[in-house]
Structure 1
Amino acid sequence: MGRKVTLATCSLNQWALDFEGNLTRILKSIEIAKQRGAKYRLGPELEICGYGCADHFYESDTLLHCFQVLKSLMESPLTQDIICDVGMPVMHHNVRYNCRVIFLNKKILLIRPKMLLANYGNNREFRWFSPWSRPRYVEEYFLPRMIQDLTGQTTVPFGDGVLSTKDTCLGSEICAELWNPRSPHVDMGLDGIEIFTNSSASYHELRKADHRVNLIKSATTKSGGIYLFANQKGCDGDRLYYDGCAMIAINGDIVARGAQFSLEDVEVVTATLDLEDVRSYRGESIFLTAQEYEHKPYTRIKTDFSLSDCDDRCLPTHQPVEWIFHTPEEEISLGPACWLWDYLRRSGQAGFLLPLSGGVDSSSTACIVYSMCVQICQAIKDGSNLWCSPRLYLFDGNYSKKSNIVK
């Protein structure tokens, strides 16, 4: 019947400027998504270079290496017959933008720049990027020669456009745009876009996961639709910890979710959903059917590709799941512990020195270190390949699952 779609989002532990490692993790997520039957894969914000590149964003080499990784992604057999949505910085008319690059079968379909930058709390995006300030406007972007030679394209659409497949329409939000009072998904929903995507690098704060879930449920409750949320995980070499929580929602319900605190580098969340559920939900809404859309419609980038299969009658759809949140005490225990593990393996140190005075500070630190050790051992016992990392970063060639650390 051609109305059920399988979509994938993910949480990736990307390292700033680790272009080779980041490429490997992106390809792994695409491979998992395809194995699960997904026709669209969404990744975290700035996943190609890493979110925490800081002033390295000013360097032309950072932009160059991002396009080299993009070229490798497009050449890979893993990216064929699936729409891939990746994040990287792009310079357009000598202005640097935080962008989504959407491609299919060695063709770039759209480059969508971030419109609302995060410049509060620990975020300083205005230091490195400019916002795209022209809503629903698309112009031409001239591709670097290495990409032109691969795709045969000289220019591609750049701006606030949406992607129109043969069976539905997708629109992008990037991180902070979800949190804005005038989020793009509002206008996109009124213009008939059925699938919203959000690629984020949202760091952990107490109870922030609750806020994310409520925002996404509210977005799809008001206007209906499918919402995909991808997020960075790990410390990215900085003071912050990104806590994952990839999820998929439809019409106000969460139907698939990832872990908030996980030591896995690649976590993929998929869901099979019925587009008719979106259309029925919107058709019953008096708020959507009674008002006229007053704004300029979005530029639709048409692609000869379907997210659904012709014969999908027997394909089961995902049902709502209950999101069980961690308590504040659990978040305090788990978040810093995950950061410690990431920082340890990225720095290549042999371990931590833990001075104990018997006071509350050293006692609290000891508890967090203990929490880190518990999570590592549990991940290993659960069958994770994480055991390779301690052997590498603790400089112990004899380390194995049977070592004293696990015991």
Structure 2
Amino acid sequence: MDYGFVRAAAAIPNVKIADCVFNVEHTAQLIKEASSKGIQIVAFPELGITGYTCGDLFGQRLLLEEAENNLGDLLDMTSSHSILCVVGMPVQADNQLFNAAIVFQHGKILGVVPKSYLPNYKEFYEERWFASAHDTNCNEICLCGQEAPFGNKLLFRSGSLVIGIELCEDLWVPIPPSSDLCLNGANVIINLSASNELIGKHDYLKSLIKQQSARCMSAYVYSSAGFGESSTDVVFSGNGIIAENGELLAESTRFCMDEQLIYTEIDIERLQNDRRQNSSYMSCRTGKDNNYRTVKFELPTTQVNLLSRKIGAYPFVPSENEKLSSRCEEIFNIQISGLAKRIVHTHTQSAVVGISGGLDSTLALLVCVKTFDRLGISRKNIYGITMPGFGTTDRTYRNAIGLMKFLGISVREISIKDACMQHFKDIGHDVSVHDITYENSQARERTQILMDIANQVNGLVIGTGDLSELALGWATYNGDHMSMYGVNGSIPKTLVRYLVRWVAQNETNDDTRKTLLDIVDTPISPELIPADEHGNIKQKTEDLVGPYELHDFFLYYFLRFGFRPRKIYFLALHAFKGKHDSAVIQKWLYTFFRRFFSQQFKRSCLPDGPKVGSVSLSPRGDWRMPSDASSDLWLTECKSL
């Protein structure tokens, strides 16, 4: 597997009911097309060789023999292709007829999986013709002159890829066979189906597939009968759906009269990581039947140079606009609830926030305002402190003052220049040398002011630093690194911008909205270095440590899935194609890992703050790392890219 990806497809061929020759010809054509696209696994609909809606024709010996004969032809026609194929047909065994999936490769049948649960209600009459997999003890079958394993407890393995098979109704029962298949190792489930269309059924079907793939932490490849199966009282729309751990990766066009081949890449490494991380996953296997047989095969190799699945550049930000609004509201509610609990617990009625006119302090202030409103505490008990320094620009100063006034909090302005000048004199630092001492002295002076004012008003200092800054260590130790409660500690920089913009878009006060939108458009800067000759921000964070959109992308895939630099680099090339070239991505990826490892000591003593998403760096929660861990493995791989 290249980068841990397997390319899988759901095929929906043209079908003529009871015309095995026609059906096999079209199945073979799609197999050859799939093979030419580098697809490694392809699934076809239920009973596709004969057609699903044959009815009592399934009792005709001629049809059953022709199905087997034409399966033999299909094996011959595709024997030169190494793609793993799964097709459906009626199979005779143990003096019974079974609705089965045939798994084959290179002209060899690897296994035959009969359907476990037969629908026999309303428009379905499968028990009229077929027996359930539960009604036989047959373990082997002779088909097309080949001996092959037979049963519903077969697993098909190639390295870390393990495939399990279920058929249509198997998915709809309370405990689908795929649940046990996955507990016994399957990470890709293939479902051969012939599910007819009804109003609202499609949405329910998609929810079933997504939920089952999420519950099993697996991929789910679903192929259902199309236009050619529509007959008498039922209509089939041709549903091809591929999901991975609750996420829909690809789907066919419904009610299309042409045959279709939909495919995407399944990330086996990602699924393995989630299963390893979830300590309760394998505990479900206790007391279960583990009598599963494994059939080994060799997955065809393919170059995954270009992914067909979408890799979003902003993994922390919902891509759908309608979801973005509800997600922003949910995030605010988590932040508000966390801060409200801390305020109630400490019996304080005041909060102190340093306001710079930048994104992070703006978000922290908005959370404070909404929290105090919800608790019924006057906004005047929020003390916004703006502390102009050597690098403060008119733009950020005006926005800081304006925002505080528009929100109706208590405003205080305390310049740090004189205090810092005295400090430089005390420690013998040349004020013209704008080094790390020059910068960090300002950050620590500001923190001292906030802490002391919090003592004066019997309040809490609310931290403003975000997740991205914590990952890079872009915080002054015991300066802006410290607070009494950090409301933004689980919010990455890319998401902070969206949250502030969302508040602006929903703000009824024009002055507040205008100020918030200008803050969103202001370059990110700690403003610790004097402005340029035009009074504009000279010290831009992203010029120094790299684009936050890249670092947030690196952070997400490193922490959430445990991916190595090589794979993160590969994904970033796809996500930022046309925006960041390979040299830029490699440069900042190296910077990310260098800083992430060297700055762990700052994260080891973080103040409390609410966990918001699936990625957190709290030493009491998601991330426990030695402060002195070596970064050599990761940096060496970064250099080799």
TM-score of the aligned structures, taking structure 1 as reference length: 0.72
How far does the alpha carbon of each residue in 1:266-307 deviate from its partner, in whole angstroms, 9 at most, with x for none? Answer: 101111122101111222224315444322225333334025
How far does the alpha carbon of each residue in 1:183-240 deviate from its partner, in whole angstroms, 9 at most, with x for none? Answer: 0111112112100011111001001110110001100111211100001012443221
Alpha-carbon offset, residue 40 of structure 1? 1.2
Alpha-carbon offset, residue 263 of structure 1? 1.5
| Cα pair distance change 1:139/1:278, threshold 3 Å | same
How far does the alpha carbon of each residue in 1:125-156 deviate from its partner, in whole angstroms, 9 at most, with x for none? Answer: 01111111169x7611133xxx22xxxx3x21
- 2:309 maps to which of 318, 331, 350: 318
The one-letter amino acid of 1:253's match is E
The 5-angstrom pairing of residues 172-187 of structure 1 reads: 172-187=165-180
How far does the alpha carbon of each residue in 1:69-106 deviate from its partner, in whole angstroms, 9 at most, with x for none? Answer: 10110111476211111111011021011011111112
2:518 aligns with none
1:262 aligns with 256
Distance 1:298 1:103 in 2: 22
Distance 1:80 1:292 in 2: 36
Distance 1:305 1:199 in 2: 22
2:191 aligns with 198
2:155 aligns with 162
- 1:277 maps to which of 270, 274, 277: 270
| Cα pair distance change 1:54/1:77, threshold 3 Å | closer
1:296 aligns with 2:296: no
2:236 aligns with 242
**What secondary structure, in the 3-state scheme, does the structure 2 residue paired with 1:159 have?**
coil
> Is the 8 Å Cα contact of residues 78 and 107 (structure 2) preserved in structure 1?
no
The 5-angstrom pairing of residues 6-25 of structure 1 reads: 6-25=7-26
Q: Which moved more, 1:47-56 or 1:2-11?
A: 2-11
The 5-angstrom pairing of residues 354-369 of structure 1 reads: none
Distance 2:20 2:284 in 1: 47
> Is the 8 Å Cα contact of residues 27 and 78 (structure 1) preserved in structure 2?
no
> Is the 8 Å Cα contact of residues 190 and 293 (structure 1) preserved in structure 2?
no
Question: Gaps spanning 5+ residues in structure 1: where?
Answer: 324-407
The one-letter amino acid of 1:158's match is F
Question: Gaps spanning 5+ residues in structure 2: where?
Answer: 313-318, 321-641
**What secondary structure, in the 3-state scheme, does the structure 2 residue paired with 1:278 have?**
helix
> Is the 8 Å Cα contact of residues 156 and 297 (structure 2) preserved in structure 1?
no
Alpha-carbon offset, residue 13 of structure 1? 3.5
1:229 aligns with 222
Distance 2:277 2:155 in 1: 25
| Cα pair distance change 1:22/1:317, threshold 3 Å | closer
Q: Which has the higher helix share?
A: 2
| Cα pair distance change 1:256/1:268, threshold 3 Å | same
Q: Which has the higher strand share?
A: 1
Distance 1:165 1:138 in 2: 25
| Cα pair distance change 1:220/1:204, threshold 3 Å | same
| Cα pair distance change 1:138/1:164, threshold 3 Å | farther
Q: Which moved more, 1:4-13 or 1:288-297?
A: 288-297
1:64 aligns with 2:57: no
**What secondary structure, in the 3-state scheme, does the structure 1 residue paired with 2:233 have?**
coil
Distance 1:171 1:294 in 2: 20
2:111 aligns with 110
Distance 2:281 2:138 in 1: 26
Alpha-carbon offset, residue 118 of structure 1? 1.1
Distance 2:276 2:35 in 1: 32
| Bigger Rg, structure 1 or 2 | 2
Q: How many residues align?
A: 311
Distance 1:40 1:304 in 2: 12
**What secondary structure, in the 3-state scheme, does the structure 2 residue paired with 1:287 have?**
coil
Alpha-carbon offset, residue 258 of structure 1? 0.2
Distance 2:294 2:110 in 1: 7
Alpha-carbon offset, residue 32 of structure 1? 2.2
> Is the 8 Å Cα contact of residues 5 and 275 (structure 1) preserved in structure 2?
yes
Distance 2:163 2:135 in 1: 19
**What secondary structure, in the 3-state scheme, does the structure 1 residue paired with 2:91 have?**
strand
| Cα pair distance change 1:222/1:304, threshold 3 Å | closer
1:139 aligns with 139
| Cα pair distance change 1:293/1:192, threshold 3 Å | farther
1:5 aligns with 6
Distance 1:284 1:316 in 2: 26
How far does the alpha carbon of each residue in 1:318-373 deviate from its partner, in whole angstroms, 9 at most, with x for none? Answer: 138999xxxxxxxxxxxxxxxxxxxxxxxxxxxxxxxxxxxxxxxxxxxxxxxxxx
The one-letter amino acid of 1:319's match is K
Alpha-carbon offset, residue 49 of structure 1? 0.4
1:305 aligns with 2:298: yes
Distance 1:230 1:249 in 2: 12
Alpha-carbon offset, residue 317 of structure 1? 5.9
Distance 2:22 2:285 in 1: 48
> Is the 8 Å Cα contact of residues 16 and 236 (structure 1) preserved in structure 2?
no
TM-score of the aligned structures, taking structure 2 as reference length: 0.46
> Is the 8 Å Cα contact of residues 73 and 79 (structure 1) preserved in structure 2?
no
1:119 aligns with 120
The one-letter amino acid of 1:283's match is R
**What secondary structure, in the 3-state scheme, does the structure 2 residue paired with 1:205 have?**
coil
Distance 1:236 1:198 in 2: 20
Using CA pairs below 8 Å that are at least 6 residues apart, which structure has the higher relative contact order?
1
**What secondary structure, in the 3-state scheme, does the structure 2 residue paired with 1:243 have?**
coil
> Is the 8 Å Cα contact of residues 227 and 249 (structure 1) preserved in structure 2?
yes
Distance 1:180 1:320 in 2: 33
Distance 1:285 1:132 in 2: 31
Q: Which moved more, 1:213-222 or 1:292-301?
A: 292-301
Distance 2:263 2:63 in 1: 31
